[in-house]
Amino acid sequence: MKLTGRVWKFGDNVDTDQIIPAVYLTTGDPRELGRHAFEFARPDFVKKIKRGDIIVAGKNFGSGSSREHAPRALMGAGVSCVIAKSFARIFFRNSVNIGLPLIEASIECEEGDVLVVDLSKGTIKNKRTGEVIGFQNFPEFLMQLMKKGLVNYTKEHLKRRK
């Protein structure tokens, strides 16, 4: 599975309140949440993001509360994956559960660069610089889990076991 998108750069310690302000937690609808992603932290984000774009961040992305709304907001806004030096553990788990790929890696890039992420091979290519870096590729079961979401994956897996 390959993902291609423009880079949106963020720093360290981006917390869930920055991703989706608490005032919008009255819904679980990804599209509605996506309309408010980074509303106070980066007001131009929702106006300029294009479906498939990629967030590149520093350490501890997704810290703060354990709300699943944060990765839902990113998906609803059109983010295809997040690449960061590290992730808050609960944010990582919530993202996997709903199908948002998170990659722990560090790549040199600028805002607006285009990256090609190959989840199966475990590579990220910066189209501007030509740099290719590797990361721990996603095992097939995890790829299927992210494509279907945890609930649907589990239901399907349980049916096969009967």
pTM listed for this prediction? 0.90
User: Which residue range is the domain that position 71 belongs to?
Assistant: 2-161
Domain count, the chain: 1
Domain CATH number, residue 84 = 3.20.19.10
- Give the dihedral sign, CA 19/21/27/31: negative
* Tens digit of each residue's pLDDT, the chain (162 residues): 899 999 999 999 999 999 999 999 999 899 999 999 999 999 999 999 999 999 999 999 999 877 889 999 999 999 999 999 999 999 998 998 888 999 999 999 999 999 999 998 999 999 999 999 999 887 887 777 777 777 777 788 777 776
Residue-level pLDDT at 162: 66
Question: CA 69, CA 143: separation in Å to the nearest integer?
Answer: 21
Specify the pairing of strand 114-118 against strand 2-9: antiparallel
